Structure 1
Amino acid sequence: MDNERFERGCKKLSEVDGQVGEEVVAPLGDLGKYIVEFAFGDIYSREGLSLREREIATIAMLASRSGVEPQLRVHIKAGFNVGLSKEEIEEIIIQTVPYSGFPTAINALNVLKEF
């Protein structure tokens, strides 16, 4: 394991999700390490987009898919953590309707209503 990459990922994960992120990846063992290293150590640590912008993109992508509600919950929490409001997240979900359809948007809005 590349310790520098893992440490960079842990730091970025903490910025995005706070302690919730650790709680999500810790039980995943090696898969959790890969998520920390790749998603947060490599992708989320790139320059060019703010964490807020990255969460907007992530929420939109997850809201556009079926069967990923647990991950959507994590990223809605992360969205709040990086400054998105509930109203903004609702708009992000509504924006997915023309491209992904009503069923996925309805599912995503139901997840958002949990908060």
Structure 2
Amino acid sequence: MSTEIINISKQEGNNRLYLTDNEGHSGKDNITTNVNPGDTVTWKLVPNGGIDQITGITAKPGSQDIFSVDPAPVNPNDPASDWSGTVSPDATGSESYSITYKIGNDTFVDDPKLDINT
């Protein structure tokens, strides 16, 4: 079991997400991070990356929920907190999920994906 890190910042010129992970994937909202059952996934805001707060990370409707411990703020008292969740030990397939985030007082949503290594 390991920790997969997904770094979150704002794309230049718009309010969409730019994501990078510790596997070397990077891109707009369409990157796919590979995880193993039992892994912890941590979403981190890039310092001065243009995103002020993550307000939610949830499975998209119609997508399976691969988490045994749903993503939640690491420090609920800190609006700029990292978020973390644990992949279920028996998870298979993939999950399309939504990240809800704030820039200033405005709320936005983007939809990356997690694939389970089997």
After TM superposition, the score normalised by the length of structure 2 is: 0.27
Higher strand share: 2
